């Protein structure tokens, strides 16, 4: 079995090196979940005006909420209608900001 990606985890006990092999998709999922967890923890420390915790959404989440294409989301970003946060090549959105845009969309504001 051929692996596409090798991820190395180091242990400091007696100069031993533990090598863990992950499939490309497993490594991608591990990194994505780690980033999501860190972003959620960071935003959870900042509470919004209602005292609720802020939730971070990824592109797929926003696509499901609006039921539009990625091209449309990118157009909204470019026009400044949808605030976003970027880490590397990944885009993240605050749920409250997405819901705010959804409310405007329901009021039939042209995009």
| pTM of the predicted protein model | 0.48
Higher model confidence: residue 4 or residue 80? 80
pLDDT at 49: 47
Same domain, 35 and 80: no
Same domain, 104 and 75: yes
Higher model confidence: residue 107 or residue 16? 16
Q: How many structural domains comprise the chain?
A: 2
Same domain, 30 and 63: no
Asked if residue 94 lies in contact with residue 43, where contact means CB atoms within 8 angstroms, the answer is: yes
Closest CA to 54 of 85, 87, 88: 85
Question: Burial level of 78, CB count in 10 A (0-12/13-18/19+)?
Answer: exposed
pLDDT at 20: 81
Q: Which domain holds residue 41?
A: 1-49
Same domain, 45 and 65: no
Same domain, 63 and 43: no
Question: Could you read off the pLDDT of 55-108 as tens digits, one per residue?
Answer: 899 999 999 988 899 999 999 999 988 999 999 999 999 998 888 887 776 655
pLDDT at 3 over 50: no
Same domain, 61 and 106: yes
Same domain, 69 and 110: yes
Same domain, 78 and 99: yes
Same domain, 107 and 67: yes
Name the band, by pLDDT with cuts 50, 70 and 90, for residue 43: low
pLDDT at 13 over 80: no
Same domain, 44 and 64: no
């Amino acid at each position: 079995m051929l692996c596409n990606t090798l991820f190395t985890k180091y242990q400091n006990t007696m100069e031993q090196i533990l090598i863990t092999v992950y499939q490309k998709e497993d490594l991608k999922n591990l990194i994505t979940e780690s980033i999501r967890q860190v972003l959620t923890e960071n935003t959870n420390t900042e509470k919004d005006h209602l005292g609720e915790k802020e939730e971070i959404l990824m592109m797929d989440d926003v696509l499901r909420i609006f039921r539009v294409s990625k091209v449309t989301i990118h157009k909204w970003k470019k026009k400044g209608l949808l605030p976003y946060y970027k880490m590397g090549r990944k885009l993240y959105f605050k749920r409250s900001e997405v819901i705010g845009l959804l409310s405007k969309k329901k009021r039939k504001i042209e995009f």
